[in-house]
């Protein structure tokens, strides 16, 4: 097994895959903040007028800039997912404890424990909205003369679309279910989970049968998902590749200072992608953001000190990370319902009153998500153990689950 271990890890990479609590806390913070960025973006996007339709001032510039990073946050999720899921796959394979059934149990429990309730909640909120506010543009898609991208929500509530979303085929064979447009990224994540281990075992030493089957499976999955999903797979692989980058003695001597500089560069990159680089194709900007964030992850891996796990920042990071997947999945149908229920102008102008209402909406969504997460995401390990006993009745000696927690929205 040493040849496989060295093929997967090299001689020095294994130790860095044992994350310290400080590193894990940083990843939790990144995941939690990314989920909040998505929420903040959707509140502004669903309730406020477009930037092209508001008076431009210092206050509006600050507000619209601060609330514009929702799509960028998904790129952060992709890189984090690539780093942490690949870590689990590689460590299990390198130690001889890899099991396809264990991997399927771990990933399925993580994904479905939130997705299935999320789809049912989407159906409940959308049906309530269509019943109480059947003529509202957020449900009908009726053009209002103002900039918008509303659509006919009822047309997206079919059983076939629900089933396609449950099978992670949204944005591939079916649209996202109901009003829950953020679900597109979950299908991307799912198929990256499928493709990565297949490609590993197709390329690495092993039996000819295993390599051929994995190569054929990867080709079939790639043909199914198509270019739209595959063009972002290298971004996910950036996260996986971080484990194979050489460590830097300079960064090891000054990790906090260099991490601060890396975060400043990341912030500058995000701002540039929404200003000076705004005319560039979206996928180019996504790769630029993903590349810079990969560098941030690499710097985080140099942190070796122990942080205060009981501090306010640490507890906030853990709290947000613990509900990040749930928040991502459940918040938009609630926001769409509230947009119809609150009435008033379809698109708000920025004012102290609307800013306060937006803050209240954010707090409401966080509380709502936390409650749902206690019933779903917090029970992931319990579901995983039960599923493992069902689909892996006889586990290999010493086998462990491929957990990879904290990887992204999913």
For the segment 280-292, what is each residue's pLDDT rounded down to a tens digit? 999 999 999 999 9
Alpha-carbon distance 85 to 161, whole Å? 28
Alpha-carbon distance 314 to 309, whole Å? 6
pLDDT-derived band at 141, boundaries 50, 70, 90: confident
pTM listed for this prediction:
0.91
For 310, list phi and psi in degrees, rounded to 5: -105, 5
**Average pLDDT over the chain, rounded to whole?**
89
pLDDT tens digits, one per residue of 342-397: 988 888 999 999 999 999 999 999 999 999 999 999 999 998 888 888 876 544 44
CB neighbour class for 353 (10 Å; exposed up to 12, middle 13-18, buried from 19) = exposed
Alpha-carbon distance 139 to 191, whole Å? 30
pLDDT-derived band at 98, boundaries 50, 70, 90: confident
Q: What is the DSSP string of 269-286?
A: HHHHHTTTTTTS-HHHHH
CA angle 17, 204, 189 (to 5 degrees): 60
Is pLDDT at 332 greater than 60 in this prediction? yes
Is pLDDT at 309 greater than 70 in this prediction? no
pLDDT at 210: 87
Q: Where is average pLDDT lowest: 12-26, 49-63, 157-171, 232-246? A: 12-26
* Half-sphere exposure (Cβ direction) of 82: Cα atoms closer than 13 Å: 26
Q: Is the dihedral of CA 389, 390, 395, 400 positive or negative?
A: negative
Q: What percent of the chain is predicted at pLDDT more than 70?
A: 89
Rounded-to-5 percentages of helix, strand, coil across the chain: 70, 0, 25
Q: Say if CB 136 and CB 338 are below 8 A apart.
A: no
Per DSSP, the chain holds a count of helices (H) and strands (E) of 18, 0
Is pLDDT at 43 greater than 50 in this prediction? yes
pLDDT tens digits, one per residue of 222-240: 999 999 899 999 999 999 9
pLDDT-derived band at 19, boundaries 50, 70, 90: confident
pLDDT at 404: 36
pLDDT at 267: 97
What residue spans of 167-247 are helical by DSSP H? 184-203, 208-230, 233-241
pLDDT-derived band at 1, boundaries 50, 70, 90: very low
Q: Where is average pLDDT lowest: 39-43, 50-54, 57-61, 226-230? A: 50-54
CB neighbour class for 50 (10 Å; exposed up to 12, middle 13-18, buried from 19) = middle
pLDDT at 14: 55
Question: How would you label 263-277 residue by residue, b for 16+ Cβ within 10 Å and e otherwise?
Answer: eeebeebbeebbeee
Structure tokens belonging to residue 56: 């431009």
pLDDT tens digits, one per residue of 260-271: 999 999 999 999
Q: Say if CB 341 and CB 133 are below 8 A apart.
A: yes
Q: Residue range 119-132: average pLDDT?
A: 98
For 134, list phi and psi in degrees, rounded to 5: -65, -25
Between the CA of residue 344 and those of 110, 204, 349, 364, what are the distances in Å?
A: 39, 60, 12, 19
Q: Residue range 189-218: average pLDDT?
A: 91
pLDDT at 97: 81
pLDDT-derived band at 144, boundaries 50, 70, 90: low
What residue spans of 323-398 are helical by DSSP H? 324-342, 352-375, 380-391
């Amino acid at each position: 097994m040493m040849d496989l271990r060295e093929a997967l890890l090299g001689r020095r990479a294994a130790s860095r895959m044992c994350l310290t609590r400080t590193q894990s806390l940083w990843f939790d913070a990144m995941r939690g903040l990314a989920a909040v960025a998505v929420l903040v973006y959707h509140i502004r996007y669903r309730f406020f007028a477009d930037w092209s339709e508001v008076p431009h001032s210092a206050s509006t510039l600050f507000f619209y800039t601060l609330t514009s990073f929702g799509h960028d946050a998904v790129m952060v999720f992709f890189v984090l997912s690539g780093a942490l899921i690949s870590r689990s796959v590689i460590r299990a394979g390198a130690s001889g404890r890899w099991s396809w059934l264990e991997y399927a149990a771990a990933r399925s429990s993580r994904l479905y424990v939130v997705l299935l309730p999320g789809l049912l909640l989407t159906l409940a909120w959308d049906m309530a909205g269509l019943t109480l506010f059947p003529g509202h543009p957020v449900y009908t898609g009726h053009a209002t003369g103002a900039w918008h991208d509303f659509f006919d929500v009822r047309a997206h509530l079919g059983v076939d679309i629900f089933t396609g979303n449950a099978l992670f085929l949204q944005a591939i064979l079916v649209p996202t279910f109901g009003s829950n447009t953020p679900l597109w990224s979950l299908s991307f994540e799912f198929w990256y989970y499928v493709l990565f281990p297949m490609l590993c075992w197709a390329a690495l030493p092993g039996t000819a049968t295993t390599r051929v089957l994995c190569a054929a499976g990867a080709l079939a999955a790639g043909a199914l998902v198509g270019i739209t999903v595959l063009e972002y797979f290298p971004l996910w692989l950036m996260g996986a590749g971080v484990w194979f980058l050489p460590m830097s003695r300079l960064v090891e001597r000054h990790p906090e200072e260099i991490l601060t500089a890396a975060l400043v560069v990341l912030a500058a990159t995000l701002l540039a992608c929404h200003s000076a680089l705004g005319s560039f194709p979206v996928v180019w900007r996504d790769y630029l953001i993903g590349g810079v964030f990969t560098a941030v992850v690499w710097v985080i891996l140099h942190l070796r000190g122990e942080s205060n796990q009981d501090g306010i920042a640490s507890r906030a990071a853990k709290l947000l990370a613990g509900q990040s997947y749930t928040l991502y999945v459940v918040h938009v149908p609630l926001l769409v319902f509230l947009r119809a229920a609150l009435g008033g102008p379809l698109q708000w102008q920025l004012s102290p009153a609307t800013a306060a209402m937006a803050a209240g909406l954010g707090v409401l969504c966080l509380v709502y998500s936390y409650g749902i997460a206690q019933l779903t995401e917090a029970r992931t390990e319990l579901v995983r153990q039960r599923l493992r006993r069902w689909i892996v009745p006889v586990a290999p000696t010493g086998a462990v689950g491929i957990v990879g927690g904290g990887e992204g929205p999913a």
